[in-house]
Amino acid sequence: MAEAKSSPASEPTRRDMLFLATGAMGAAGVIALAVPFVRTLAPNAQTIAAGAPIEVDLTPIPEGQGIKLFWRGKLIFVRSRTKAEIEEAQKVNLASLPDPQADSARVKPGKENWLVIYGSCTHLGCIPGGSAAGEVRGDYNGWFCPCHGSHYDTSGRIRKGPAPTNLPVPPYAFLSDTKIRIG
Amino acid sequence: MSGPSSYVPKLGIAKWLDARLPLPRLMYDSFIAYPVPRNLNYFWTFGGILMLMLVSQILTGVILAMHYTPHATLAFTSVEGIMRDVEYGWLMRYMHANGASMFFIAVYIHIFRGLYYGSYKAPREVLWILGVIIFLLMMATAFMGYVLPWGQMSFWGATVITNLFSAFPIVGETIVTFLWGGYSVDNPTLTRFFSLHFLLPFMIFGVVILHVWALHVTGQNNPTGVEVKAVAKDTIPFTPYATIKDAFALVLFFAFFAYFLFFIPNYLGHADNYIPANPAVTPAHIVPEWYFLPFYAILRAVPDKLGGVLLMFAAIAVLVVLPWLDTSRVRSMSYRPLARQCFWAFAVTCVMLGWLGSRPAEGIYVTLSQLFTALYFAYFLIALPLLGLFETPKKLPGSIAESVLGKMKGGSGAVVGAAAPAEPNTKG
């Protein structure tokens, strides 16, 4: 060492080489090992398989009422909207909405009476009431979240309260006039 | 602070061990000969109380884990089994659940003691920050423990708190999926929370050791905030003086604990948590445990989701930088007339935030939450930085001994204080 100090510009030693090589190998190893450790926390194969698409029969839902169902552990609202509710949703001034989105972008064309949305409040994930008869529907006749007071309208759009976005529309398609597939 | 070791091993085996692993020497220097300021009041007993609460939580927790089943379909029933079938299972569970509350009562007194007497100031910044880390770990542990019985409040509390992380842009959704291990709070969430709930107390234990180590390097603060100047005059040995005082306070505290445990064991809980978790029904009024309420009020005070989350984390993060926000050279609020008033206003603010956190998020409660959230941050960001510059503190006693002995002589500290030579009062 004393020799190395006296000539700072001396040749790299074999120890320097070992330090760099083992250091690089060690760092690569730690990163490579971290990946599987973190990946174990992701949804496992069983959870993913249980999240396959589901079919829903719409015939038992009377006009003006809705059902709740689960897909991927998340609640989904399917509501059969009345004429008045559809009109109410369509005539809103979009500029006045916290998360502007036209009602037509949230339903399938020609099926405006069916609204399919996720049923977890976009604030912190509580279940807004308003699907079943007798539940509080909030100031905009849609859904009302009791946890922190978010009001949703008849299109599931946020109108008042802390929730940042509209209730999202899950991926779904009409298989026939009375049947949809979610997923 | 502790100076050179005064441990003298007498027995042959003690000498033999001292030359190989001087653990008895460490214990002797830390808990017997260790010099403590002679003027410590009963607020200084909560460190020891907290240590015992941690031990109590670990002991009861290990027993509970022997009888608990971490599975979404079995957890609730297994907890009821502990209550009804396991001998003294009810005692273990009530000790653990109420113990968590007692732990937080003690830690809040401990924190406010530090805030009042300026224990966070130089040279105790690292000691204070380690304490904030312990507080954070305690909150994580308590939150995950509350999820384990898998009742309605467990489930919806977990849903609300994990969803906080979805507020972060871009990575938020991924973080939440990895927290859940699925697309919603479910069995994988429960099992990983159980694992972490078992791990974290031991991490707390590790940081507590660092906390005590840092304490024994700088020495304890005291009600005057004046540093120890002469060990012989200003301090007394830990044993028997501090030991017996700590033990007495501990017994009183455990009597208080026992009252909750044996007479009102469910007073601090929520009835909704005796309903099994149901992902389709949200309880009408989700409230966290009482010790989270002030932070919950801050979260709900902001109409913006990300803003609320950031402000809530900021409420704790501000404690980390507190040693550098308080500009006053005087530690103890006893000698700071204006800062003392601000301190009590701050204490009231925290209680008010706690009360507001338990109210529904509507109408006047939201406005009041915003007001008190502003006051909470004003204490740290406006009051403490400015007061240090403008306030004229009262005259500090020349030393700890003077503050104690001056009072004892005819009850007039001013005479001794005036007679003492004019020394610089603070070390900064």
DSSP A30-91: HHHHHHHHHHTTS--HHHHHTT--EEEE-TT--TT-EEEEEETTEEEEEEE--HHHHHHHHS
For an interface test with B, give the residue of A39, A44, A46, A147 to mutate (most B CBs within 10 A): A147
Share of chain A above pLDDT 70, in %: 95
The residue among B309, B282, B307, B287 whose CA lies nearest residue B355 is B287
Return the number of CB contacts < 8 Å for A and B. Answer: 88
Q: What is the mean pLDDT of residues A110-137?
A: 86
Q: What is the mean pLDDT of residues A41-66?
A: 90
Q: How far is A15 from chain B (nearest CA, A)?
A: 34
Q: Which carries the bigger pLDDT value, residue B47 or residue B405? A: B47
Q: How far is B271 from chain A (nearest CA, A)?
A: 17
Which sequence spans correspond to the domains of chain A? 13-42, 50-182
DSSP H helical segments within B168-304, as ranges? 172-180, 187-218, 231-234, 243-263, 293-301
Output the CA torsion sign for B77, B198, B286, A163: negative
- Rounded CA-CA distance A136/A129 in Å is 6
Helix (H) or strand (E) holding A174: strand A172-176
Q: Which residues of B touch A74 (CB under 8 A)?
A: 183-184
Q: What value does the mean pLDDT of chain B take?
A: 92
User: Are B131 and B140 within 8 A, CB to CB?
Assistant: no
User: pLDDT digit string (tens) for A67-100?
Assistant: 889 998 889 999 999 998 899 888 888 888 889 9
- Rounded CA-CA distance B78/A153 in Å is 42
CA of residue B420 relative to chain centroid, distance:
38
Q: Which residues of A touch B188 (CB under 8 A)?
A: 43-44, 47
CA of residue A63 relative to chain centroid, distance:
27
Helix (H, G, I), strand (E, B) or coil at A19: helix
Name the one residue in this structure whose structure tokens are 């099992």. B191
Which contacts (CB < 8 Å, 24+ apart) does range A77-83 have? A77/A115, A77/A116, A77/A117, A77/A118, A77/A119, A77/A131, A77/A143, A77/A156, A77/A167, A78/A114, A78/A115, A78/A116, A78/A180, A79/A114, A79/A115, A79/A131, A80/A113, A80/A114, A81/A112, A81/A113, A81/A114, A81/A115, A81/A154, A82/A113
User: Are A139 and A160 within 8 A, CB to CB?
Assistant: yes
Share of chain A above pLDDT 90, in %: 44
- Rounded CA-CA distance B355/B377 in Å is 18
Q: Does B278 touch chain A (CB under 8 A)?
A: no
Q: Is the Cβ pair B362, A149 closer than 8 Å?
A: yes
CATH topology of domain A50-182: Rieske Iron-sulfur Protein (2.102.10)
A148 catalytic per annotation: yes
- Entry pTM: 0.87
User: Are B45 and B110 within 8 A, CB to CB?
Assistant: no
User: pLDDT digit string (tens) for B322-376?
Assistant: 999 999 999 999 999 999 999 999 999 999 999 999 998 778 999 999 999 999 9
Query: To 10 degrees, what angle do helices B152-163 and B172-180 make?
Result: 150
What the block records as the tokens of B22 is: 């001087």
Residue B164 has pLDDT above 90, yes or no: no
Q: How far is B301 from chain A (nearest CA, A)?
A: 9
The residue among A68, A93, A74 whose CA lies nearest residue A153 is A93
Confidence grade of residue B282 (pLDDT, cut at 50, 70, 90) = confident
Confidence grade of residue B175 (pLDDT, cut at 50, 70, 90) = very high
